[in-house]
Structure 1
Amino acid sequence: MKSSKADKNPNVFLTLEHLLKFELISSIINLGSGKQKSNSVLSGRYASRLRGRGLDFEESRPYVLGDDIRNIDWNVTAKTGKTHTKVFTEEKEKPAFIYVDQSASMGFGSTKKTKSVVAGELASILAHKIKKGGDRVGGMVNSGKTYDVVTPKRDPRNIIYFLQKIVDANHKIYQPEPFEFESTLTEIISKINNIVTHDYVVYIISDFRRYSASVVQYLSQLALHNDIVLIKVYDELEEHIPEEKLTITNTKYQINLNGKNKKLNNTLSKSFEDDYKAFKSELEKYQINIFKVNTHEPVEDQLIEVFSNYKTNAAR
């Protein structure tokens, strides 16, 4: 079948060439590099406190009974008159697993890009950034009824393979096959649990439109031994509608909306925000982070702002 002009629109359909360009952009994104502690879910690698000899000196602190006397910091002890000990850090591997939703609901976009395109761009930035940190990276691409799994590896070719799977799923997004969402989700989470054992950072990129309370239960199981970060991709039309009359269709049904109706507009906007806050609040019970990325602003700009705010808040 010949490609139409729409198939070549980079705001609607992904290409491998487009996603590979984000390797350069990933260099300006700081996911929490440096010696952050293991409670930071945004770091590709984490530092653990050790009592004893480590690889890198981190700080001196007052001696506590049980500390290794070989690590006493005699210089600080002499200056302060109180016994201090050296604390070292050791970098440990933290492989990453990136789940990318390319199911039918992700094929929506009202002004700039579709959610599926933004999801692919996010996955590319994360994968390239993690690779540069020296950790293994892989993931899963969900098309709705089917999914592809890419085992985490350090090989750069593995990232290309992963990104190509995203592109392939993206090009089939407007020919979805019927599927039972809950049973498919159960199978997907089960598969992820078999791959992701412990000490992983798991990024889940989706619009989370159809996710029920059971999803939180599945995610909480993953969060027991791994760090989980959810990225909600949304379109501005989902957050609020323009002040004009609209006709919205899903190819089978259609509804008419009057955006000039302020009560309706406010109700829809409040519903969107309330749903997000409720979902976020539930996730926080299990120390699972979530943040939003929209389809009309550059992805890299939004990531810079998100992670900058996270580090600022974490430092308080």
Structure 2
Amino acid sequence: MFKRIREICKHRYFFIEHIRMRVDSLLVGEKPSLRRGLGVDVEDFREYVFGDDYRNIDWKVSARIPYSDYPRFIVREYREEKALNMFILLDVSASMRYGEKWLTAIGCLISLIEIARRSKDKVGVGTLCVKDPKIIVPISPVGLSEYLFRQICKGEIEPMGSVGIYESVKRLSSYFSRRNFVVLITDAAHEVEEIKDSLKFIREKSMGVGVIMIIDRRELEIPIAGLITLEDYEIPTSLGLEGDDAKMLSAYLKRHLRKIELSIENMGIPYVKITRYAEIPQKIRKLVSLYGKTREVSYV
């Protein structure tokens, strides 16, 4: 386990509470949805108009309406269902070990769970990994942050190996449904087309999708002084660079990230980029916005 993670594990309840307080301060005044739509709670009644579903006619109320020149039918309007299921896909490939990326991903995971708790939604989690994925079907988010942190601190969830993101997403597709919206937490260590195909696949299987991209700035700024050895965490290889090679690689990595960002933007998918753990308190508002936009698609 990484040294920084070990330190955080000693104070994990403070870590969770810090995020929880930040989320609670932004999501105040929570109350049931007053919008009208599909649901089980009757919100109001109104007269039938052409195009209404005849199954919503309340025959008992209609029978009490005085008969005039023609029969009048009354339909029930339902309160729109509030609770939805969020399914979080967490990338646990070895590339997430670099710098603070894994710690930042954990912070984003806990933030999403706490936002769902305030929104009274259910949360499921699936890990994108080489071996058998860790899967939690959508459940109440109360206590889920603490449970997942215990699993992380025990080393049962940690980044390792090389992951084909598209195949990993397909493996978990049976847990997606039209009552789900999906948030993907990953990094840029994937082919652009593979990320695009993964997001298209998720969109076909669920109601909405959002992306949180974890990027360490040092990945994009390769030092140009002296001889540098780069090590690939996912594939056991290393590469020596010097001078202009490092400059060229930095430019390539920035272009690669920009292509991924443009692909996500062109698909109209809500997206947040976070470069280090210390950014999370300032990015909570953006995470809340991403959550709301992704969730809103589920009602359209």
TM range (shorter): 0.5 to 0.7
SS of corresponding position for 1:145 = coil
8 Å CA contact 1:200, 1:226 repeated in 2 = yes
In the alignment, does 2:114 pair up with 1:128? yes
- Superposed displacement of residue 235, structure 1: 0.9
**CA–CA distance in structure 2, aligned partners of residues 256 and 227 of structure 1:** 42
Q: CA deviation at 1:205?
A: 0.5
CA RMSD of aligned residues (A): 4.5
User: How far apart in 2 are the matches of 1:197 and 1:275?
Assistant: 26
AA paired with 2:109? Answer: A
Distance in 2 between the 1:171 and 1:46 partners? 39
Deviates more, 1:131-140 or 1:250-259: 250-259
- Is 1:220 matched with 2:200? yes
Matched residue SS, 2:90: strand
Q: How many residues align?
A: 268
Q: Which amino acid aligns with 1:20?
A: I
> Identity of counterpart residues, as a percentage?
18
- Which among 22, 25, 40 is matched to residue 25 of structure 1? 22
- Matches of 1:245 and 1:167 in 2, distance apart? 38
Within the candidate set 55, 63, 81, 2:43 is matched to 55
1:132, distance to aligned residue in structure 2 (A): 2.5
Does the 8 Å CA contact 1:99/1:140 hold for their aligned counterparts? Answer: yes
- Equivalent residue for 1:234? 215
Letter of the 1:277 counterpart: L
1:198 aligned partner: 178
Which of 281, 285, 290 is matched with 1:300 structurally? Answer: 281
Equivalent AA in structure 2 for residue 292 of structure 1: K
Residue 236 to residue 30, structure 1, CA distance change in 2 (3 Å):
farther
List per-residue Cα deviations over 1:139-178 (Å, max 9, x = no partner): 01344434211121116244432333344458754xx35x
Q: Which amino acid aligns with 1:128?
A: E
The alignment status of 1:207 with 2:220, answered yes or no, reads no
* 1:266 Cα deviation after fit: 4.9
Structure 1 stretches lacking a partner, 5+ long: 36-44, 58-62, 71-86
Distance 1:132 1:200 in 2: 17
For 1:200, the aligned partner's letter is N
**What amino acid is the match of 2:241?**
N
Name 2:138's counterpart in structure 1: 152
Distance verdict in 2 for CA 1:306–1:245, change over 3 Å? farther
Give, in whole Å, the separation in 2 of the partners of 1:126 and 1:278: 23
| Deviant stretches of 4+, over 6 Å | 259-264, 309-312
Counterpart-to-counterpart distance in 2, 1:156 and 1:310: 18
Secondary structure, aligned partner of 1:298: helix
SS in 1 for 2:183: strand
Q: Which residue of 2 aligns with 1:104?
A: 94
Q: Distance in 1 between matches of 2:94 and 2:190?
A: 11
Q: TM-score, normalised by structure 2?
A: 0.67
CA contact (8 A) 1:98 1:203 kept: yes
- With over 3 angstroms needed to count, the CA separation of the structure-2 counterparts of 1:191 and 1:269, relative to structure 1, is closer
